[in-house]
């Protein structure tokens, strides 16, 4: 970065996260990896001298209008529509109300209060587009997931993303000054499917909290969840919905036990998370499936876990599974590896980056029951698990939120430089 661009690093950033708040517990509803991403990067931006104000939709009358996430990081709860009962697909009707709330908040400050807008997910991008025009600042956008990609990899019976989202994403891609992709695959999708200018796409991998997610006492972690020391523990961590495919793990578990019934007395499968998305239509469907498959005795369902409890889930597991049909990256895979636990993941989206196949985990090229039963059977043997576990922490340590945040700051600076250079040219012309 040139010294001139370095001076363009923002004093204040407005972050838009309309449909989910970074204060919410990931693992249920619409809260997931994006919440972690925003909370972690905002905290570190503030530590590096950039104040952050996060705008999110108020979903309860009990939340305060303004809350502090961390020193230098403010969360503004904007009233836009009813507090509860709105599905994410109904939120486009609240874009105007949300934008009005954000613009009112900015109007209380002196002109030029924010230096950059960073929007997350397409709904926020629509509001970010308006703020860019009204405030005269660059818009940086992170999609996190893309409708055109999701619709090519739907789980059986899942609902396609609506056309309104596809159109909204195309508009945001066209108007944003910079697009942040998690992986080169996502960057390619933005160019190939949405017509993004390659020069305006920055590939910045997410990180992992290496202070919290560390190897620890497996026996103590197992005791916390009532698991025996000699248990063989597979875990799923995430939102319970078809996209995340926890049913793939259950079906593969049933097939594994049919092949190797001797594993049953010590096998434990942890499913950690809450219903989300189309999974809300049948919130007990996964429990019903476990009973139908005859494996209810080995499957345990836990609510979303946060903080040290989540780290202990990873430490208690022999293997963490990520069978998703689509993942822009897969933070769960990184967090598990940082705790020393190998991962078996679907070879989709960003997971081939998050998991080092054959070194810190295994990638499965598909979602077939036999494929996944083969993978689980291989890691059921301690020899392979031990070899994979040896590479987990080393791989996870190649990612960090500090590096992610530094790269974001550089992207903000470049966006500011390009935006103001363009503005100067327009004025001169």
37 marked as part of a ligand binding site: no
Spatial CA neighbour of 183 closest among 338, 334, 349, 332: 349
Q: Is 305 part of any known ligand binding site?
A: yes
The answer on whether 11 is annotated among ligand-binding residues is no
Q: Which two tokens stand for residue 164?
A: 């309104």
- In this structure, are residues 103 and 95 in contact, taking their beta carbons and an 8 Å threshold? no
327 has binding-site annotation:
yes
Q: Any binding-site annotation on 145? A: yes
The annotation status of 57 as a binding-site residue, yes or no, is no
- Measured distance CA(85)–CA(271) in Å, rounded: 26
Q: To 10 degrees, what angle do helices 285-292 and 246-259 make?
A: 10
31 is known to lie in a ligand binding site? yes
Q: Is 314 annotated as a binding residue?
A: yes
Element (H, E) at 321: strand 319-322
Alpha helices for 195-330 (secondary structure H): 218-224, 246-259, 285-292, 307-316
Q: Is 315 annotated as a binding residue?
A: yes
Sheet of strand 201-203: strand arrangement: 66-70, 73-78, 51-57, 12-16, 116-120, 139-142, 178-181, 201-203
Question: Is residue 335 marked as binding?
Answer: yes
Q: Check the annotation: does 416 bind a ligand.
A: no
On whether 19 is known to bind a ligand per the annotation, the reply is yes
Consult the annotation and say whether 33 binds a ligand.
Answer: yes
Query: Reduced to 3 states, what is the DSSP secondary structure of residue 20?
Result: coil
Q: Is 9 annotated as a binding residue?
A: no
Query: Binding site residues, as ranges?
Result: 19, 25-26, 30-35, 88, 121, 145, 165, 239, 244, 305, 314-315, 317, 327, 335, 341
Query: Binding site residues for 1D-myo-inositol 3-phosphate, as ranges?
Result: 19, 30-35, 88, 121, 145, 165
Query: Binding site residues for UDP-N-acetyl-alpha-D-glucosamine, as ranges?
Result: 25-26, 33, 239, 244, 305, 327, 335
Query: Binding site residues for Mg(2+), as ranges?
Result: 314-315, 317, 341
């Amino acid at each position: 970065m040139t010294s001139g661009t370095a001076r363009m690093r923002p004093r204040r950033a407005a972050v838009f996260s309309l449909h989910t708040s970074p204060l919410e517990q990931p693992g249920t509803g619409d809260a997931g990896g994006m919440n972690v991403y925003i909370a972690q990067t905002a905290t570190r931006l503030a530590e590096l001298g950039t104040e952050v104000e996060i705008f999110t939709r108020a979903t309860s009358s009990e939340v305060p209008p303004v809350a502090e996430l961390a020193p230098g990081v403010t969360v503004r709860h904007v009233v836009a529509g009813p507090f509860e009962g709105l599905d994410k697909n109904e939120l486009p009707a609240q874009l105007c109300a949300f934008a009005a709330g954000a613009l009112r908040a900015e109007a209380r400050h002196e002109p030029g209060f924010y230096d950059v807008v960073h929007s997350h997910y397409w709904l926020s991008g629509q509001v970010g587009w308006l703020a860019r025009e009204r405030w005269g600042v660059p818009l940086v956008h992170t999609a996190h997931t893309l409708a055109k990609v999701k619709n090519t990899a739907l789980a059986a019976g899942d609902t396609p993303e609506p056309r309104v989202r596809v159109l909204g994403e195309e508009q945001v891609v066209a108007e944003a000054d910079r697009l942040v992709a998690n992986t080169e695959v996502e960057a390619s999708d933005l160019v190939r499917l949405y017509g993004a200018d390659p020069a305006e796409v920055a590939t910045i991998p997410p990180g992992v909290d290496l202070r919290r997610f560390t190897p620890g006492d497996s026996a103590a972690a197992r005791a916390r969840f009532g698991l025996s020391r000699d248990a063989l523990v597979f875990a799923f961590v995430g939102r319970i919905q078809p996209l995340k495919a926890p049913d793939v793990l259950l079906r593969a578990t049933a097939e594994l036990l049919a092949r190797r019934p001797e594993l049953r007395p010590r096998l434990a499968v942890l499913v950690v998370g809450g219903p989300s998305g189309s999974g809300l239509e049948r919130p007990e469907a996964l429990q019903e499936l476990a009973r139908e498959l005859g494996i209810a005795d080995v499957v345990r369902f836990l609510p979303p876990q946060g903080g040290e409890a989540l780290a202990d889930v990873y430490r208690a597991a022999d293997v963490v599974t990520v069978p998703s049909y689509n993942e822009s990256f897969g933070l769960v895979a990184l967090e598990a590896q940082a705790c020393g636990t190998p991962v078996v993941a679907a070879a989709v989206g960003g997971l081939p980056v998050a998991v080092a196949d054959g070194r810190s985990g295994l990638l499965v090229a598909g979602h077939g029951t036999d494929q996944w039963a083969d993978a689980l059977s291989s890691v059921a043997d301690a020899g392979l698990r031990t070899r994979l576990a040896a590479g987990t922490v080393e791989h996870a340590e190649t990612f960090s939120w500090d590096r992610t945040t530094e790269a974001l700051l550089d992207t903000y600076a470049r966006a500011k430089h390009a935006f103001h250079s363009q503005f100067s040219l327009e004025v001169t012309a």
